[in-house]
Amino acid sequence: ARAGVPVFHAGMVGEEGDGFLEACRKSGVDTTWIRQIPGKSGHTIIQLDKHAQNCILLYGGSNRQITKEFVEEVLSHFEKRDILLLQNEINELDYIIDKAYERGMQIALNPSPLDSALDACDLKKISIFLLNEIEGGQISGETEPEKILDVMMEKFPDSRVVLTLGSDGVMYRDRE
């Protein structure tokens, strides 16, 4: 948004979400689709070790209060080729992916934190995977970055994969 690209943020924030909303607005993010609801906002604690590997602790809070009706309302304002960026911290992820795919949107997914909720998602509908070695290993069954990327491309040949490697940087793969 600060670079001039139209950015919309959708979701639920808790009672203490005023600071987040203000930061979004100050940065030029359209907050039309953020709803402030009773209760606490979802949040994470991200721990990094000395090798820049992370461990994420998640409290779902308001992030787990998404409804199918809200999804329909938000996505009705977007169209083919718009980019939807998702992280596996919200509920209704499978529904969101299906509806965005039906609209022809490009879907970028960070599957973190990897859990059983992803089992309900059709990951073949994902345009771009943004994942680290741990998540890549969990999805692919491999541990070596090159092999993770090989399996990801076998499973999801129409996707692009960005694999972060902690302090060793990042790798990218697509069908070409």
| DSSP 8-state class, residue 112 | P
Q: What is the pLDDT of residue 59?
A: 85
Each of the 176 residues of the chain gets a pLDDT tens digit; together they read 999 999 999 999 999 999 999 999 999 999 999 999 999 998 888 888 888 777 778 888 898 999 999 999 999 999 999 999 999 999 999 999 999 999 999 999 999 888 888 999 999 999 999 999 989 999 999 999 999 999 999 999 999 999 999 889 999 999 99
Question: CA 76 to CA 79: how far, in whole Å?
Answer: 8
Alpha carbons 150 and 162: distance in angstroms, whole number? 12
pLDDT at 120: 96
- Write down the pLDDT at residue 1: 96
What pairing do the DSSP bridges indicate for beta strands 8-13 and 128-132?
A: unpaired
pLDDT score of 97: 98
Q: Which tokens is 167 given? A: 């302090």
pTM comes to: 0.90
pLDDT the model gives residue 45 = 85
Contacts of 17-24 spanning 24+ positions with Cβ under 8 A: 17/41, 17/62
Spatial CA neighbour of 69 closest among 10, 125, 9: 10
Q: Exposed, middle or buried, 33 (CB in 10 Å: 0-12/13-18/19+)?
A: middle
DSSP code of 173?
E
Tokens representing residue 114 in the block: 């990897």
| Dist CA 6 CA 2 (whole Å) | 9
